[in-house]
Amino acid sequence: MSTTTTPRLAPAPTSALSLSRTTATATRVLRQLRHDPRTIAMMILIPCVMLFLLRYVFDGSPRTFDSIGASLLGIFPLITMFLVTSIATLRERTSGTLERLLAMPLGKGDLIAGYALAFGTLAIIQSALATGLAVWTLGLDVTGSPWLLLLVALLDALLGTALGLFVSAFAASEFQAVQFMPAVIFPQLLLCGLFTPRDNMHPVLETLSDVLPMSYAVDGMNEVLRHTDMTATFVRDALIVAGCALLVLGLGAATLRRRTA
């Protein structure tokens, strides 16, 4: 008498984005981060500390702080969120957590959206603290609304989160994740117009800067610095930064796959 066994089928991943699954993923990530106070401190406090130091580095030249402080208000959150997100997501990959989650009926979109929601929540806190410190404590003089500064800072932090999620797929260790920073962040930092106007650069570098999202983050901050009202250029810059963040999140979802059968 022969018996046959029915093979157990892995649950098919769902394709539709679910609010409940997304929020459950975000809650799990935030619960894990709660037990890592050093990571939380780095995300929330480091940009504030850097702005505080920068203000008093230029203590004898407040105009210099006004001219570059707004730009750095967007750059600092992008850098810190990139570092923290890439390392935290890599830990999930190497520990097998993502492998187990992908074996469940959980869509890739739910995973990426959940991670983005969790880190985005911290990005809101980070950006609000940094903007409030710069404008109302350190005396950053801006012509436009501080709320527009906060908007760009938040979009930059979300872009850093998206970039961190994406590059974590190509790193085998935390050290390798940090090594992506010179490749992904430093070129944008040099070409974004922070050190010299982009139209003063070599034409090749100026063209390259036109396709880097950090350039539009700096341009958006400068628009708030110089204009009282929201300009069309500001709207364009903000939409480009937001669009790049969504594009990179989509690429991050494409890198999520099971590594074992």
Supply the DSSP string of 175-190, one letter for each residue.
HHHHHHHHHHTHHHHH
Distance CA 90, CA 177 (A): 8
pLDDT at 105 over 90: no
Please provide the average confidence, as pLDDT, over all residues in the chain: 82
4 occurs within a structural domain: no
Please report how the helices 146-167 and 62-94 are oriented relative to each other, as an axis angle in degrees rounded to 10.
30
Q: Work out the pLDDT band at 10, boundaries 50, 70, 90.
A: very low
pLDDT tens-digit readout, 117-161: 888 888 888 888 988 888 888 888 888 888 998 898 889 888 988
* Sign of the alpha-carbon torsion through 210, 238, 226, 154: negative
Count structural domains, the chain.
1
11 occurs within a structural domain: no
Mean pLDDT of 63-91: 84
Mean pLDDT of 194-209: 90
pLDDT at 2 over 50: no
What distance lies between CA 251 and its chain's CA centroid? 14
182 occurs within a structural domain: yes
Closest-CA residue to 219 (of 202, 197, 242):
197
φ, ψ of residue 12 to 5 degrees: the values are: -70, 130
For residues 20 and 107, the answer to whether their CB atoms sit within 8 Å is no
Q: Work out the pLDDT band at 114, boundaries 50, 70, 90.
A: confident
What is the 8-class DSSP label of residue 104?
Answer: S
pLDDT at 102 over 80: no
196 occurs within a structural domain: yes
Domain containing 103 equals: 18-253
Q: Look at residue 106 in the predicted model and tell me its pLDDT.
A: 65
Terminal alpha carbon distance of the chain? 31
pLDDT at 104 over 80: no
Q: Look at residue 188 in the predicted model and tell me its pLDDT.
A: 92
Q: Is 251 exposed, middle or buried (0-12, 13-18, 19+ CB in 10 A)?
A: middle
pLDDT at 6 over 50: no
258 occurs within a structural domain: no
pLDDT at 170 over 90: no
Q: Look at residue 238 in the predicted model and tell me its pLDDT.
A: 93
